[in-house]
């Protein structure tokens, strides 16, 4: 008779809250099941039929999709029979037939689902959605805490599934941009519940900085020490987000003329020796450093020298100066810093904004302010360097749409980046990465850490005969320059139509020579331009779309694929509304039919967006 396996648990006097202890004990159980098998079974339990598991994802840039694939692969090792599908490929009626479902989704815009989950959400949120009492589910959200509606889509899915009668297996998970550790901690806590198929009542959120579970990095370290199980990633040898390649900057060219109000740059970066590869439609991750001048301003506001020892954002020993320069966000203050600074300074006006009912007022106050502005508003707030850095978030890579085809520029990657510069609250402000690239990276130096972010949902059609409609004002032209180079390199016979716009034709016609040449040789079939400041009444790309409604409809009916790149909050919404109007007016459809038509385009991957 095999010896019983005892699952390690935290002692009652461990320095954790009851919620933290419950979460950690679940985590230990998941890890232990993986290593030893379920209690009483021994290391090699009897074979049994695999348990069906639906793994559904909603992904805009590919991160949620990639995570879902990894989760499904691990689920298969644990005895499940996973089926992985994007949310738009699932109907709520399909869910009613499932016993277990894990949803992994990012968020787009103001808390909305990503494009490949929009249709699913429309059906799930409808009054006609079926009851789901037989379904046990778990939801993991990927997001960015710099946005107000952090993980908003995952919250919607989680609440709606519960309302329809489904049983929540574990509290919803929420991950910030660096999601790997938090996502792994959440999945480890999920495995025991998933195996049992039993739901929980709790609506507590498992977040990477949630008060309910603490910091997963700390919890994982604690788990390793407590159980003796070493939890580490495989040795990283390939270049990736965790291990960016130090690339060489070859070209830094301004695209606007001297009379422009903008400063848009064309960068060419050499990838030779990296083994990195990309496709037209992908993005390049760039890891910047903060502005040295801003760091000096911050040190002065803190009354610090910069040589003080602190932990950097990766938990490593560092000087304060180097930690602020390379690892922490110092341009966008976290609400926690605002609260602590206001409390220490006794700033009653600012403390009043921290009332949850006044969140919109607090957001307006923070907008345009950096960390120096917060300290200047709270002159009585005193921090030790070690205290101060605990209120800062980790500096994140910037993702830029690639503006080149690897077939046209082997060994290189091109970017089209607007250098952000503005004045706010009495001080000049600069974009962290855009101005670092534009002003401080020397040509010829291998000083640009980069990685490729695959964009599964932004791809040219496989059929080279398909027509393509591209809508990208300003720097939104970036992926379409890549698309046009790709179509030329592959001798695609399908027609290409580009809508481009900016402020002034004389100063802001990005890539004018290339586009004009491609229009002349037929690589570009149509080019519709919208320069908003060249006339009294502003004209935008959506204006041109409505003017060409009949021709647009003709292209759509001929099977055209539609692509949009640029600002999510305004442009993308206006373009989407214009597309609906085109279908209604030129296509003779009702508003409801136009909505169905657009939904069908998305399902067929004929309407794709790269928006930010």
Same fold, 245-287+397-453 and 468-611: no
Rg (CA), the chain: 26
Topology (CATH level 3) of domain 18-227:
Rossmann fold (3.40.50)
Which residue, 74, 80, 98, 81, is CA-closest to 188?
74
Distances (CA, A) of 429 to 8, 331, 373, 482: 52, 9, 11, 31
Residue ranges per domain, the chain?
18-227, 245-287+397-453, 292-389, 468-611
Res 10: pLDDT: 55
Measured between alpha carbons, how far is 391 from 302 in angstroms, rounded to an integer?
13
Query: What are 385-439's pLDDT values in tens digits?
Result: 999 999 999 999 999 999 999 999 999 999 999 999 999 999 999 999 999 999 9
What stretch of H or E contains 421? Answer: strand 421-424
- SS3 label, residue 537: coil
d(CA 15, CA 29): 19
CA-wise closest residue to 480 among 443, 518, 447, 451: 518
Per-residue model confidence (pLDDT) at position 40 = 41
Locate 21 and state its tokens: 């202890």
Nearest to 137 by CA among 178, 182, 105: 105
User: In whole angstroms, what is the distance from residue 591 CA to residue 580 CA?
Assistant: 8
Pick the CATH number of 292-389 from 3.40.140.10, 1.20.990.10, 1.10.10.10, 1.10.1040.10: 1.20.990.10
- Can you list the alpha helix ranges (DSSP code H) found in 84-134? 92-95, 118-124
CA angle 238, 239, 241 (to 5 degrees): 125
Residue 50, Cα to own-chain centre: how many angstroms?
Answer: 33
The three-state secondary structure class of 287 is coil
Residues of the chain with pLDDT under 50: 1-7, 17-20, 22-23, 29, 32-47, 201-202, 209-236
Distance CA 326, CA 443 (A): 20
Tell whether the torsion through CA atoms of 506, 511, 512 and 515 is positive or negative. negative
Any idea which fold 468-611 has?
Rossmann fold (3.40.50)
Which of 542, 545, 544, 552 shows the shortest CA–CA distance to 574?
Answer: 542
Residues whose CB falls within 8 Å of the CB of residue 465, separated by 6 or more in sequence, listed in order = 492, 493, 494
Which pLDDT does position 55 carry in this prediction? 96
* Neighbour count for residue 347 (Cβ, 10 Å): 19
Say what the pLDDT of residue 14 is: 56
CB-count burial class (<10 Å; 0-12, 13-18, 19+) for 322: middle
Report the alpha-carbon distance of residue 606 to residue 555 in Å, rounded: 12
Distance of CA 280 to the CA centre of its chain: 19
- Whole-angstrom distance, CA of residue 100 vs CA of residue 585: 44
DSSP structural state of residue 394: B
Which two structure tokens, joined as six digits, stand for 416?
A: 């089209």
Separation of alpha carbons 501 and 477, rounded Å: 9
Whether pTM exceeds 0.75: yes
Strand residues in 171-311 grouped as ranges (E): 173-175, 206-207, 245-254, 264-270, 283-286, 309-311
DSSP type of residue 393: P
**Class of the 245-287+397-453 domain?**
mainly beta
């Amino acid at each position: 008779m095999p010896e019983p396996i005892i699952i390690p648990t935290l002692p009652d006097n461990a320095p954790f809250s009851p919620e933290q202890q419950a979460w950690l004990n679940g985590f230990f159980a998941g890890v232990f099941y993986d290593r030893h098998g379920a209690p009483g079974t021994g290391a090699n339990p009897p074979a049994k039929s695999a348990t069906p598991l639906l793994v559904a994802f909603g992904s805009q840039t590919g991160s949620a999709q990639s995570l879902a694939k990894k989760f499904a692969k691990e689920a298969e090792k644990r005895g499940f029979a996973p089926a992985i599908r994007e949310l738009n490929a699932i109907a709520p009626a399909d869910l009613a037939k499932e016993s277990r479902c894990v949803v992994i989704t990012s968020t787009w815009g103001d808390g909305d689902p990503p494009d490949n989950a929009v249709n699913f959400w429309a059906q799930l949120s409808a009054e006609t959605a079926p009851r789901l009492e037989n379904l046990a589910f778990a939801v993991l959200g990927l997001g960015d805490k710099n946005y107000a509606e952090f993980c908003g889509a995952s919250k919607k899915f989680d609440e709606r599934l519960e309302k329809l009668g489904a049983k929540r297996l574990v509290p919803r998970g929420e991950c910030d941009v660096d999601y790997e550790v938090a996502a792994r901690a959440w999945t480890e806590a999920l495995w025991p519940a998933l195996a049992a198929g039993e739901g929980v009542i709790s609506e507590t959120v498992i977040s990477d900085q949630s008060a309910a579970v603490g910091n997963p990095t700390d919890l994982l370290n604690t788990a390793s020490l407590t159980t003796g199980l070493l939890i580490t990633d495989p040795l990283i040898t390939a270049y990736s987000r965790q291990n960016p390649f130090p690339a060489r900057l070859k070209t830094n060219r301004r695209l606007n003329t001297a009379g422009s109000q903008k400063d848009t740059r064309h960068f060419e970066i050499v990838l030779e020796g990296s083994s990195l590869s990309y496709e037209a439609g992908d993005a390049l991750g760039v890891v910047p450093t903060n502005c040295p001048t801003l760091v000096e301003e911050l040190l002065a506001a803190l009354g610090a020298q910069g040589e003080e020892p602190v932990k950097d954002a990766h938990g490593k020993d560092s000087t304060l100066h180097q930690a602020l320069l390379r690892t922490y966000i110092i341009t966008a203050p976290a609400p926690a810093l605002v609260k602590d600074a206001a409390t220490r300074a006794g700033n009653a006006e600012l403390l009043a904004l921290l009332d949850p009912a006044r969140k919109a007022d607090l957001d307006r106050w923070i907008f345009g302010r950096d960390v120096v502005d917060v300290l200047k508003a709270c002159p009585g707030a005193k921090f030790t360097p070690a205290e101060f850095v605990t209120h800062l978030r980790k500096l994140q890579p910037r993702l830029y749409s690639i503006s080149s085809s690897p077939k046209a520029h082997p060994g290189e990657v091109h970017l089209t980046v607007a250098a952000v510069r503005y004045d706010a609250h009495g001080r000049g402000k600069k974009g962290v990465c855009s101005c670092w690239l534009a002003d401080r990276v020397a040509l010829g130096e291998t000083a640009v850490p980069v990685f490729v972010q695959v964009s599964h949902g932004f791809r040219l059609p496989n059929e080279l005969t398909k027509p393509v409609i591209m809508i990208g004002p300003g720097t939104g032209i970036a992926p379409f320059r890549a698309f046009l180079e790709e179509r030329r390199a592959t001798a695609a016979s399908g027609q290409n139509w580009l809508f481009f716009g900016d402020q002034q034709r004389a100063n802001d016609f990005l890539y004018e020579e290339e586009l004009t040449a491609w229009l002349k040789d037929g690589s570009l079939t149509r080019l519709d331009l919208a320069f908003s400041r060249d006339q009294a009444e502003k004209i935008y790309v959506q204006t041109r779309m409505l003017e060409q409604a009949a021709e647009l409809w003709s292209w759509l009916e001929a099977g055209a694929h539609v692509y949009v790149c640029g600002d999510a909050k305004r442009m993308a919404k206006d373009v989407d509304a214009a597309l609906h109007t085109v279908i209604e007016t030129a296509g003779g459809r009702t508003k409801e039919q136009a909505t169905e038509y657009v939904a069908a385009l998305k399902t067929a991957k004929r309407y794709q967006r790269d928006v930010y």
